[in-house]
Amino acid sequence: MATPTTSGQRLRTCRACGKKFEYPVKGNPATRHHCEDCVILPPDTRKILERLNTRVTQLERELKLLQSKVAPPAAPPAPTPSVPAA
């Protein structure tokens, strides 16, 4: 269960994994930019994860925008009148 944030704590989003976390929390190794899980990763790995997370977030926004712009399906074509055989 999440603890309520005090005046000094803020809800942050990890740059590497996108997880929401409170910062600062006494005794927690999390930094301003990385959660307690990602802060232990090597810096090069975190950098790659940050780029991937940024790209995934960007693609999700673009997909949502495109889905909202999709027009409703067009009405089916009207049937052509049949011509009696002569």
Tell me: the pLDDT tens digits for 28-38?
999 999 999 99
* DSSP structure string for 1-53: -PPPP-TT-EEEE-TTT--EEEE--TT----SSS-TTTTTS-HHHHHHHHHHH
What is the residue type of 75?
Answer: A
Give the pLDDT confidence score for residue 1 in this predicted structure: 45
pLDDT tens-place string over residues 40-68: 999 999 999 999 999 999 999 999 999 99
Residue spans of the domains in the chain: they are 10-66
